[in-house]
Every structure is written in C-alpha cells, then in structure tokens.
Amino acid sequence: MSDSSLTFTRQSDWRVWFAIPVLAVAGLFALLGEWIAPYSVTGYDYTAILSSPTAAHWFGTDELGRDILSRLIIASRTSVAVALGATLFAAITGSLIGLLVSYIGGRLEAAVSSAADIFIALPDIFFAILVMSLVAPNPTILTITIGIIYMPQFTKIVSAMVQSARHADYVTAARSMGASGTRIIFSDILPNILPIIVVKFTLTISSALLLEASLSFLGLGAPPPNTSWGQMVGSLKPYIYNNPWPIVFPSLMIFFVIMAVNVLGDWFQDYVNPEVRR
C-alpha cells in the first residue's frame, strides 16, 4: 500500500509550493542581510526620492532616497527575529509554566488558568501598545513583550493536555512500571502534545509577525536605526499620495510572509490529522 503521507493531494500541493519559497526567501534575507543588499542602509540618494521601480532601484526609493529593496532585505532580520524570538519565548516559558502548574494542580492551577483566560480573551495589541509606550523601546523589550502576550495560550494548552494525559491509560501503565514523574512527562506526555504545540507555534508566529508589524507601523515598535517591514510601511505612509509604489513592496512582503506561515500551518494541521490524509 502506498505511503499516503508522501502523496500530496492537489490542494496541499500549491500550499507547500507557495509557502516554502516565500519563507526561504524571508529567512535568507534575515540571515544574510547586509551581505546581499545592493545598497547600504544609510545610502541616501537625494536625486531619486520616492521613485517607482527602476533599473537602479528595483523596488524604488523611499522618502530619503534610500533603496527600498536593500532596506527590505535588512529589515527582514528585525521582523523575523522578533517574531521568532517572541514565539520561542512564549512557547518555552508558557509550556514550562503549564507543565509546572498542572503538575502541582489544585488552586494554583485554577487561578493561573483563569488569569490566562483573561489574557487570551483581550486583544493582544492593547497590552503591547501600553508596554511599548511606557518603556524605552528596543528590539529585545519588544520581543519579550510580544512573547509574554502569547505565553498564556501555551500555558493553557499544555495544562489541558497534561490534565487529560494524567488520567490516560498509558500514563497509568508507565507508572505501574515504576517510571518517575519527570520521566513520564518527558517520554510519554510530551510526544503526544508535540503536534498540537507545533501547530500552535506556527499560528503564534503568524500573530507575532502581525503584531510586530502593526506596532512598528504605529511607531511603537523597534526604533531606528532598526528597521522592520512594518516600520518601513509606517514611515512611507504619509507619502502615498506622492507615489504609491514604494509602500507596496514592504506591504506585500509582510502579506506574503504571514500568508505563507498561515498556509504552512494549515498544511501541517492537515498532515497530522489522520482523517484528512488520503
């Protein structure tokens, strides 16, 4: 019988073919940054301000005459790093707290669960705005703030999973064989939770990218000289009536990367769901 997991259905085909190249490009930009950018970050060219795409400047120039393509490449590092960092932070600390709290159980767990609920219910952007306007902004603070915002979701997932796993047969079986608590957590519970956490991970990256972009757009993200895609869009916004072209490129970049992450997450969800595989 053929291994159906390797045969993509027609629908998932396009998903993977679209998502992976986009993300690869974004990753490459983020890693290589200045080395592949045609112009330097501060290369002001006052002769060509806010120009549409030309041979010299493939994506045009911004309000200070800087090459958009180069800035886009360099900005990738901040955008990707913040989103990735925040998600990792949220996933790791959230999961650890979830594990700890559900292991202890009782009132502590109930309290943490309710607190997490409140956090999850309210829109993420407000807390971010609050914090970023209170403290001196820098990329690290931004990353941690966004991470803290998404942490409760991981806590809840892990907590719920541990709860249900606690009473599961395979845990009782392991216990009866004399396995210790930590061993049970790491070798029995975690592998079952992992697919769900991975799915949540991709969803969170998508949200974090969006949040960082929105914050930077509003001017509350990482300040210059750090550039991020959102920040580029924000600073070009007053000039769209002069020439709409420059703003299109960083906007599309954000759009495609977020969509790629979403699509990949969708694909992964279908992949781990045995009913959808054919």
Partner 1 sequence: MNYYLRRLAVAIATVLISSSLVFFAIRILPGDPVMMLLGESAATPEVIARMAERLGMDAPLHVQYFRWLTDLLQLDFGTSIGTGLPVANELIKRLPRSLELMAGGILVSLSIGIPLGVVAARRPDSFIGNAASVLALIGLSAPTFVKGLILIIIFSITLGLLPSSGFTPFTQDPVANLRNLILPSLTLGLGFAGVVQRITRASLAETLGKDYVRTVRAKGVSENASVYRHALPNAMIPVIAVVGIRIGSMLGGMVVIENLFNWPGLSSYLIEACYARDYPAIQACLVVIFFVFSLVSLSMDVLMGIINPRRRDV
- Per CB under 8 A, the list member of 34, 105, 108, 126 interacting with partner 1 is 126
Nearest approach, Cβ of 171 to partner 1 (angstroms)? 32
Please give the Cα distance from 245 to 50 (Å, whole number): 8
Q: Is 276 in the site for partner 1 (CB under 8 A)?
A: no
- The count of residues interacting with partner 1 (CB under 8 A) is 39
Using rule CB under 8 A, residue 233 touches partner 1: yes
Residue 213 makes contact with partner 1 by CB under 8 A? yes
At closest approach, how far in Å is the CB of 43 from partner 1? Answer: 25
In the numeric block, the tokens 């949040």 are attached to: 211
- Write the interaction track for partner 1 spanning residues 234-273; mark x where CB under 8 A is met and - where it is not: ---x--xx--x--xx--xx-xx--xx--xx----------
Q: Which is nearer to partner 1, 11 or 40 (CB)?
A: 11
Using CA atoms, how far apart are residues 277 and 272, in angstroms rounded to an integer?
8
Among 175, 219, 223, 271, binds partner 1 (CB under 8 A): 219
- Other beta carbons less than 10 A from residue 148's beta carbon: 18
Q: Does 124 bind partner 1 (CB under 8 A)?
A: yes
Q: What are phi and psi of 61, to 5 degrees?
A: -125, 160
Q: Provide the Cα torsion 195, 197, 201, 204; round to 10°.
A: 130
Coil/strand/helix, residue 163 = helix
Task: Give, as ranges, the residues between 132 and 151 that touch partner 1 (CB under 8 A).
Answer: 132-136
Rounded Cα–Cα distance for residues 266 and 6 (Å)? 17
Nearest to 209 by CA among 12, 76, 31: 76
Q: How many Å apart are CA 244 and CA 52, to the nearest integer?
A: 8
- As given in the structure block, the two tokens for residue 79 are 């955008």
Q: How far is the CB of 254 from partner 1 (least distance, A)?
A: 5
CB of 170 to partner 1, least distance (A): 32
Say which DSSP state 185 is in: I
20 binds partner 1 (CB under 8 A): no
Chain residues binding partner 1 by CB under 8 A are 115, 118, 121-126, 129-136, 210, 213-214, 217-220, 230, 233, 237, 240-241, 244, 247-248, 251-252, 254-255, 258-259, 262-263
